[in-house]
Amino acid sequence: MAYFLGIDTSTTSSKALIIDEHGEVIAVASSPHTLQTPKPLWSEQNPLEWWDAVSASIRSVLEKAGIGGESIAAVGLTGQMHGLVLLDETGNVLRPAILWNDQRTQSQCDEIHQKIGKEKFIKITGNVALTGFTAPKILWVKENEPEVYAKAKHVLLPKDYIRYKLTGEYAMDKADGAGTVLFDLKSRDWSNEVLLALEIPRGWMPKTFEGTEFTGHVTAEAAALTGLKAGTPIAAGGGDQAAGAVGVGAVEPGIVGLTVGTSGVVFATTPSALIEPEGRLHAFCHAVPGMWHFMGVMLSAAGSLQWYRDALAPQMSFDDLLKEAESAPAGSEGLQFLPYLSGERTPHPDPLARGAFIGLTLRHSRAHMTRAVLEGVAFGLKDSFTLIQNAGLGKITQVRGSGGGTKGALWRQILASVLEAELVTVNTTEGGAYGAALLAGVGAGAWVDVASACKDCIKITGRTSPDPTQFNVYRKSYSVFQSLYPALKSSFRDM
C-alpha cells in the first residue's frame, strides 16, 4: 500500500495528512502557530516556527497512522498564499515573514500601478496590485528596510520555505507564483517586464513547477527531524485555494468551488488565462497542470452570521436561529443586509465599506433579519459568480460547497436558488492538505492526472437543487442589492 502526505502551512497551524492510494484519510495531525502584529496593520510570523510545527506534525501523523516514513511515496505542499519570506545567500531568514493579511503596503501598490500602468499590469498579471500580494511587500522592504533588502538573495512563499527546509531546493509552484503578481499569467512564469520595472532581480525568484511535478527530495537532515525517509520526492503542490479546489474536485470548467467560512471564496477553473478587465477578480494559475482559475473573495461570509448571532441573539444556537428563519419568505419581504462588516474585496475592493440592514419596517421580525443575513451573503457571493460568467467562463453547472456556512439546509437552499445552480457537498473535508496529497499521488503515478484522482476519491454526499419558484424574487432582490453599495459608498467614507 502506497501512502501520500499532504502538508498545509496555514496562518494558524501546520497540518499533516496521510491518505492511501484510494484517497482514504488515514491520519491527521496539526501544530499551532503564533501571529505577531508589531504595529497597526502589520501581520507577521517567524518562518522557523512553521518548520518546527511542520516537523512536529509529520512525526505525529506518522505515529497516528502507525507507519514509518519509508511508507510515504510522495509529499505535496500547500499553505497560506502571498506571504513574503526573504532569505540571504546561505538560506537564512532575514526578517519575519510578511503575511497575506498585512495591510502596510498601499503606497507600494500605488507605485506599482504608476510605474507599469494599471491596465497594463492587469493585462500581464491578471490582477490589480493589492496590499495582500507579495510584490508590494518586496518594495516595502526595499524602501523601509534597505539593510535587509541589501542582503536578500531569495524570495519564497510560506510553503516554499518548508520545501526549502525539506529539500534544500528553492522552488515554487505556478499557482502560488501567480499569486505574487510578478507572473506573466499567460506564459505561467515570471514576468521579466514586471520584475525589470520594479527593479526586483530575476535571480531572486525560484524556478516554478506545475502542481504535480517533483521539485526535490527529502534530505538526510530533514529526514532525521521529521521521520520521513531521505530521498522521498516532494511535489510542487499549490497555494491553499488552488490545493483546496483540488481537495473538493473543482478542477474542470463549469464546476465551481464555494467556501463559506468566516470569509467566502468563489473558485472557478478556467481552460485559458481569462482576465476580468478591471481586475475585480483574482486570476491565477491553477495547481492543475495547464489550467488557470478565477477567484472572488468576500471578507465576511459566515462571519456575518457569527456577528449577527453574537450581537443580537447570543442566547440562541445557530440551529435554532436558522430554524426560526425558515418562517420568513424568500426575499425577506424587502429587507436587505449588506455583509461588508470587514470592508470588502470582490467586487468592491474597499476597506471602508460597512455592513447595514436596509428596508426595516414594523413588520420585520428576527426571522426576517436572520434570513436577510443569509440572503445578503448569498448576493455578495453572486457578485463574484456574475463577474466570472461575464469574464468568459460561461455556464456554471455545479457548485461544490464547503465550510461551516454550507452545513445548514436553509442556507444551502438559499445559495442554490440565488446562484441558480446545483449545490453539492462532498466527502472530503480537509481542504488544501487533502488536495496537496492528491497532487503528490498524481506525481507519483497513483493516478494518471488530477481529474482522475478527484473522480476516484471525491464523492458527492448531498445535493441541493435551486428552487425555480424563487428565481424571480431573488433576481429582483439581487438587483436592489447591487444598487446599494454605489448609493452608500460616499456615506461609508464620511462615517
The residues assigned a catalytic role are: 240
Q: In Å, what is the CA distance from 447 to each residue of 194, 239, 438, 443, 451?
A: 37, 21, 9, 8, 9
Would you say 195 and 205 are in contact if contact means Cβ atoms under 8 Å apart?
yes
Would you say 239 and 297 are in contact if contact means Cβ atoms under 8 Å apart?
no
Residue-wise over 454-493: b if at least 16 C-beta within 10 A, else e?
Answer: beebbeeeeebebeeebeebbeebbeebeebbeebeeebe
Round to whole Å and give the CA distance between 386 and 405.
20
Write out the three cell numbers for 285: 494559475
**Which residues does 452 contact at the CB level (< 8 Å), separation at least 6?**
442
Pairing assessment for the beta strands 85-87 and 25-32 based on DSSP bridges: unpaired
Write out the three cell numbers for 120: 497594463
Is residue 42 packed enough to be buried (19+ CB in 10 Å), middle (13-18) or exposed (0-12)? Answer: middle
The secondary structure of 268-333 as a DSSP string is EEESS----TTS-SEEEE-SSTT-EEEEEEES-SHHHHHHHHHHH-TTS-HHHHHHHHTTSPTTGG
Pairing assessment for the beta strands 13-20 and 171-173 based on DSSP bridges: unpaired
Q: In Å, what is the CA distance from 233 to each residue of 58, 77, 219, 437, 442?
A: 15, 11, 10, 12, 12
Would you say 258 and 415 are in contact if contact means Cβ atoms under 8 Å apart?
yes
Would you say 429 and 25 are in contact if contact means Cβ atoms under 8 Å apart?
no
